[in-house]
Amino acid sequence: MTAIITASELAHDLTGERPPVLLDVRWQLTAAKAAGAPAFDGRAEYAAGHIPGAVFVDLDGELASAPGARGRHPLPDLAGFGAAMRRAGVSADRPVVVYDGGQGWAAARAWWLLRWTGHPDVRVLDGGLTAWEGALSTQAPAPAEGDFEPAPGATELLDADGAAALARSGVLLDARAGERYRGEVEPIDRVGGHIPGAVSAPTTENVGPDGRFLPAADLRDRFKALGVSGEAPVGVYCGSGVSAAHEALALAVAGIPAALYVGSWSEWSADPSRPVVVGPDPQ
């Protein structure tokens, strides 16, 4: 099973006898609110037009807990997450396809959570809604209740100590923009820089100009150049566990398993006792 699906493949599957459950997870980072810009409203975007049959899922409210000591997007309450997935029609024996507006970060967060909690068949629409060429709908479906029960642990999860250890024993990739990794700018968190030993690997470099993932062979070459040999364990973090999920998805496309540090820099940097490195070098 591949981790992504093309728009043409999705259109075909939606007409089949066993169409996938379709989740719309449109979301954008709203750091611009500090400058007076209105927050992005994914639910309003969904209401204005979505792939027919898709159910809206709120990243902040259903794919994360409230911001706090564990970061800006800590793991959701599992009971609430399971209830949200069942309301959306998710069942253990039915495939799921997730999409967002095209960036892929939010869709990847939903993909990672479903995989981590044991769903066996989840894919992300490559290129998101911008890749979809079919008609859109403004009708919100009312799917039958699903039966999915989250069982966490199907993929590896890191905490802060685990991320620090993996940076020494394996390869810890920092999915944020290079200037944030280097500590040149930090628009959101308390301090800029990176976890000691982490390697800069902006997730934006995993996709082409159209927002679709590079071919698997190209992704393998990219990660190999970053030190991913296939022998040492791999972990990923970002600002708050969203764009890092997109990097974990890119790694999955390349056939490379990776652990996710969900708390990411927003948790790490909030603790003054944690060491911080600035500049282009990992150490």
Q: Which residue of the set 64, 113, 238, 244 is catalytic? A: 238
Q: Is 196 helix (H, G, I), strand (E, B) or coil?
A: coil
Q: How far apart are CA 54 and CA 89, in angstroms?
A: 10
Is 27 in the active site?
Answer: no
Q: First vs last Cα of the chain: how many Å apart?
A: 37
Contact 166, 174 (CB under 8 A): no
DSSP string for residues in 107-118: HHHHHHHHHHTT
* CA 103 vs CA 68, 127, 145, 206: distances in Å: 25, 7, 29, 11
> Which residues on adjacent β-strands are paired with residue 277?
194
Q: How far apart are CA 90 and CA 143, in angstroms?
A: 9
Q: Which of the residues are catalytic?
A: 238
